[in-house]
Amino acid sequence: MSIDDLNKWALLLVSPFIYPGDVLEAEHIAFVIESILLRSQNLPTPFFPSDTILKWSDCCLPLACRPGEPYKLFAEASIDNFSELGIAFMENRLQMDNGMVPQKIVSVHLQDSVLKELQQLTSSTITEVEELTSALSFKIKPGQEGTKHLGRDDQKVQDEECNQKKSSASQEEPTSVSEKGDDVDEHHHLHLSSCHECLELESSTIESVKFASAEDIPDLPYDFNSSLEGSVNTACHIGQGKRVNVTGKPPNVLLFVGSDSQEAHQRFQQLRSILTDCVDTDSYTIYHLKEKKVLSDPWLHNCLLLIIATEQPISEAICQQFMAYLSQGGKVLGLSSSFTFGGLQLRSKEELKKTIQTLVFSKADNNEMKLNVLTSGSIYEEGTGELLSLGKLKGYLENIEKDKIIVHLPFGTNGGEAILCQVHLEMSPSTLIQTQDAFNLLKSSNFKRYEVLKEILTVLGLSCELNKIPPLTPLYLFTAEEEARVSFMQWLARNVSPEGVMTFSKLNLKFVSSYKPELEVTPSHMPVITATEEFAPEHFNLEIYRQNLQTKQLGKIILFAEVTSSTMSLLDGLMFEVPSSLGLVAIAARQTEGKGRGGNVWLSPVGCSLSTLHIHIPLYSHLGQRIPYVQHLMSLAVVEAVRSIPEYQDINLRVKWPNDIYYSDQMKLGGVLVNSTLVGTTFYILIGCGLNVNNSNPTICINDLIIEYNKRHNKNLSLFRVDYLIARTITVLERLIDAFQDKGPNAVLPLYYKYWVHSGQQVRLGSDEGPMVWIVGIDDSGFLQVHQEGGDVVTVHPDGNSFDMLRNLIIPKKQ
C-alpha cells in the first residue's frame, strides 16, 4: 500500500519543511501514524503505569497533520527512536499526546523534488500554519524552537467537569481533534503533493525492531503473558484493517482501596479474588489503582469499571477525579466507601456497624431476594441538595426504617453511573472473625452474595457469564508403585491396536509415549501419555499421593488430566476391560461436563477433588446383595478420611443420605455418583466423587472449615491438598468395603450414624403437605427408614425427580 491521498494535510509549526535551513536528516525515518478517538470506536485499551507508557512525541518530530477520523500525523524519527516507538506500538504502550489511540504506523519515502517544492510553498505561509496548529497539543522535545505545549490547565478541567459544565472533557483528553477538523479544513492548506513512492510496511517497517531481542524491551510491572516475538507476530500490517488492541489486553477493572498500606494491599488481593470468581479474567484485567497514581496516571481513558473499596476518607482532589471519570461515561462501584454524590449523603448508625443483617435486594427486573450480609454501619440518606433520579437496582435492610444500603445513581449525559453499597459484598465469611452462628449465617447466604455482586457488575457493563470452556488436555498415566505399572503396561500391550488405540462406544483412547501438539484432544478422542517421568502437573503431586495411598489394590493406576470432560466418562469403556486387580482411578483438576445424580451438573472449578474409582463387586457377597450401600460407603470414606486424622475429629463434616457430604446440616460440600452394571455374577462399578477442598467460592469447602476451626480454637491445623485427600479417601474406602464384605451392614453402620446429619430429623412424605415422619435410620438394603407417630417404621424411597432426595420421599407400593 502507498499513501497517495495527501491533499488535506496541514504542516505544523515545528516542521523543518517550513524553514529552508532545516532538512530531513538522511539517517532518519519518515512515517505516518493514524489514530482514532477511543470513545467514538468504543475500543478498549490496556492500563499501564506511567513509567511504562511512551508518549509518541518523545521519540519523533511531528511534521504535518490531517484532521478527521482517523486522525493522521506525519513525523520523522531517528532509527533508534523509531525502533523504540515501534516496540511501544506493538505492546500497546504508545500514547498519543492528544488522547487518541494509535492504530497504524506506515513508513514513507519522500522524493527530493517533493521536499524542495514544499520548502518553496511554505516560505510565505508561516503565519497561516501557526493558526492551524493552535488546535493541537504536541509535546515537543526540549531544545526545539517555535512551539509550546498548548494543553489545558489540569485543575481548571477538574473543576469544570465536577461542576458538569463540560460533561465529556477530561484532563488527559483535549477537545476532540475530529470536532475541530471542520474548522481547520476551511483554511487554505499547505499540501504534500501525492507521494507515489511510499514503501509497503513489509519492505520498510521498523528495521531496527527486527533485530531487537527480548533484552531490549524494558520489564513491565505486570505479567501480560506476551513477548516481543508474540507482539511482532500479532501486529496488524498496513492494509489489513485497523489495529485493535493487538496484544489482546482485555478491558481494565481498577480497584481503589485507599492509602498504599499493607492492609490496603491485602484488601486489594481479597477483592481481586472475589472478582475473578465473578468475571472471566480472559476478558477483563484487574489492576490496583494506587492512591498516589489517581491524579498522575492516565487511567481515566483506560478503565472500564472503577471499584472504590475503602472506608478511609477520600480527598477532595481524588473525588473530583472520580467525578471526572463518571462525567465521561465511567462506571463506578462503591463498596463500603465514603464516596457519594448527587445529593446523597452517608449517616452512621453505630448499632449496625459490623453486624449481620437481612438485605432485601431488588434486581434490574424488579425481582427481590433476601440474604444475610455484613453491614458497614452506614446508610444512605437524601442530603440538602437535589437528589439525582435513582436507577433500578436498590437494597435496603429488613428493619423498621428500611435503611437504604444499596443505591443506583445514573450520572451525566454520557452514560456514567455508580452503584454504591454499604454492605461487605467483597468479604468472604472465612476472612471475618465472628461466632460460629455468624459464620453459618453468612456462609448460608454466600451463593446469594455472589448473585447480588454479579447482578451489580452486569448492570455496570461487565459480563459475568463464565461460559468460556477451557481446552481439554491429554491424560497422563501415573502409577502408585512400579509393580502396578509393569502389570498395567503388560495388559495394555495385549489389548491395544497396532496404532496404540483402544476403541469404545463413546471414547477412543490413544496411548502414546509423549505428547505432540498435533494429537487430537476431544471428548471422544483422548491421547494417554505413558512416559510421565518428567511431567509434573500443577494440581497433582504424585509423591504426596503415593505416600498417603495405603491400599492393597484400589487407586494404583492413575489417569490424570488437568482439564477433561468428565472423569466418569473417561472410564466408561475401560470399566469392562481393565482387571479389577489393577485398581484404576481417573483424577482431574477441572471438569467441563461433570455429572451428578439425575443428570445434574456438578460445578468443578480448580480446588475441587474430582475423581472416579473403578471397582468390581461379586454379586454373591454382602455388598453385592446391597449395591445401594456403595454410595453410602464412599460418602462415609470422605468424612472419615478427614475426621480420623488426629486433631481433625471436630471438623464438622457429615454425610447426608443418600449420597452427599455436608458441612454440619448447613451446606453441601460434595457428592457421590455410582454407576453399576451387572455382567454375569460381577458388578462393574464406577464411583464418582466431587468434593470442595480448596475452593471457597461460591459456597464452602473443607479448608474453610479448617480455617474457621483454627480461629475459634487458636489452632494451626494444616489445610488439605486435593491429591492428599483423594489418596486417604481411597484408602479408607477399601477398608470399609473389606469390613462390609466380612460382616455386612452392621460393620459400618455405627460409624455412618456417628457422622450422618439426620439424627432426630423430621421430613414430610410425598409433598410439602404430606404427613410428618421421623428419620430413624437406613434398612438392610440402604434405603431410608422413617417412623410416623402412632404408626410403624417403614422404608421410603426418593421419587427420583427432586434435586434434594429428602424433599419428596415416597412409600413404595407393596408387591
Residue 233 maps to a domain: no
Amino acid at 748: V
Query: Is the pLDDT score of 681 beyond 70?
Result: yes
Same domain, 425 and 493: no
State the average pLDDT over residues 182-211: 33
Residue 142 maps to a domain: no
Same domain, 727 and 773: no
Query: Is the pLDDT score of 203 beyond 60?
Result: no
Query: Is the pLDDT score of 689 beyond 70?
Result: yes
Query: Is the pLDDT score of 225 beyond 60?
Result: no
Query: Is the pLDDT score of 319 beyond 50?
Result: yes
Among 123, 141, 176, residue at a domain's last position: 123
The pLDDT confidence band at residue 331, using thresholds 50, 70 and 90, is very high
Domain around 448 = 252-460
State the average pLDDT over residues 354-374: 89
Among 460, 495, 516, residue at a domain's last position: 460
Same domain, 382 and 281: yes
pLDDT at residue 789, as a whole number: 77
Q: 391-405, 428-442, 619-633, 716-730: which has the minimum mean pLDDT?
A: 428-442
State the average pLDDT over residues 206-215: 30
Same domain, 560 and 704: yes
pLDDT at residue 150, as a whole number: 30
Same domain, 694 and 784: no
Residue 169 maps to a domain: no
Instruction: Let me know: does 632 contact 778? Beta carbons within 8 Å.
Output: yes
CA nearest 122: which of 58, 209, 190?
A: 190
Residue 724 maps to a domain: yes
Residue 255 β-bridge partners: 288, 307
Residue 204 maps to a domain: no
Tell me the C-alpha distance between 258 and 310, whole Å: 5
Quick one: CA dihedral 367, 368, 374, 376, positive or negative?
Answer: positive
Residue predicted with more confidence, 466 or 621 = 621
The rounded mean pLDDT for the chain is 74
Residue labelled with grid coordinates 444475610: 372
Tell me the C-alpha distance between 497 and 520, whole Å: 17
Same domain, 716 and 799: no
Residue 176 maps to a domain: no
pLDDT at residue 431, as a whole number: 65
Query: Is the pLDDT score of 15 beyond 60?
Result: no
Q: What CATH number is given to the structural domain containing 263?
A: 3.40.50.880
Query: Is the pLDDT score of 108 beyond 80?
Result: no
Residue 660 maps to a domain: yes
Q: Which helix (H) or strand (E) holds 688?
A: strand 682-692
Same domain, 409 and 541: no
State the average pLDDT over residues 720-729: 96
Taking the CA atoms of the chain, what radius of gyration do you get in angstroms?
34
CA nearest 199: which of 118, 112, 106?
A: 106
pLDDT at residue 441, as a whole number: 83
pLDDT at residue 759, as a whole number: 79
Q: What CATH number is given to the structural domain containing 629?
A: 3.30.930.10
pLDDT at residue 718, as a whole number: 94
Residue predicted with more confidence, 301 or 136 = 301
Same domain, 510 and 526: yes
The pLDDT confidence band at residue 231, using thresholds 50, 70 and 90, is very low
User: CB under 8 Å, gap of 24 or more: what pairs does 807-812 form?
Assistant: 808/766, 808/767, 809/763, 809/765, 809/766, 809/784, 810/765, 810/766, 811/765
Number of separate domains in the chain: 4
Residue 399 maps to a domain: yes
Q: How many helices (H) and strands (E) does the chain have?
A: 20, 34
pLDDT at residue 740, as a whole number: 96
For residue 444 the three cell numbers come to: 448460608
pLDDT at residue 511, as a whole number: 93
Query: Is the pLDDT score of 40 beyond 60?
Result: no
The pLDDT confidence band at residue 695, using thresholds 50, 70 and 90, is confident
Same domain, 453 and 495: no
Query: Is the pLDDT score of 270 beyond 70?
Result: yes
Among 733, 755, 777, residue at a domain's last position: 755
State the average pLDDT over residues 596-614: 71
- Residue 595 gets which letter from DSSP? B
pLDDT at residue 52, as a whole number: 65
Cβ count near 370 (within 10 Å): 12
- Bond prior to 658 in cis (omega within 30° of 0): yes
pLDDT at residue 258, as a whole number: 86
Instruction: Let me know: does 338 contact 380? Beta carbons within 8 Å.
Output: no
Provide the percentage of residues in the chain whose pLDDT is more than 90. Answer: 29
Query: Is the pLDDT score of 317 beyond 60?
Result: yes
pLDDT at residue 432, as a whole number: 62
Residue predicted with more confidence, 254 or 150 = 254
Residue predicted with more confidence, 116 or 70 = 70
| Tens of pLDDT, residues 383-432 | 776 667 788 888 999 988 899 999 999 988 888 899 999 998 887 776 66
Same domain, 440 and 383: yes
Q: How far is CA 748 from CA 320, 418, 475, 636, 780, in A?
A: 68, 58, 35, 9, 12
Query: Is the pLDDT score of 780 beyond 80?
Result: yes
Q: 28-37, 272-281, 287-296: which has the minimum mean pLDDT?
A: 28-37
State the average pLDDT over residues 448-468: 84
Instruction: Let me know: does 667 contact 629? Beta carbons within 8 Å.
Output: no
Query: Is the pLDDT score of 685 beyond 90?
Result: yes
CA nearest 645: which of 542, 572, 731, 571?
A: 731
Same domain, 685 and 792: no
The pLDDT confidence band at residue 509, using thresholds 50, 70 and 90, is very high
pLDDT at residue 505, as a whole number: 83
pLDDT at residue 341, as a whole number: 87
pLDDT at residue 366, as a whole number: 86
The end-to-end CA distance of the chain, in Å, is 86
Same domain, 570 and 717: yes
Q: 49-53, 164-168, 752-756: which has the minimum mean pLDDT?
A: 164-168
Query: Is the pLDDT score of 298 beyond 50?
Result: yes
User: Taking the model in full, what pTM does it have?
Assistant: 0.57
Instruction: Let me know: does 425 contact 335? Beta carbons within 8 Å.
Output: yes
For residue 413 the three cell numbers come to: 449525559
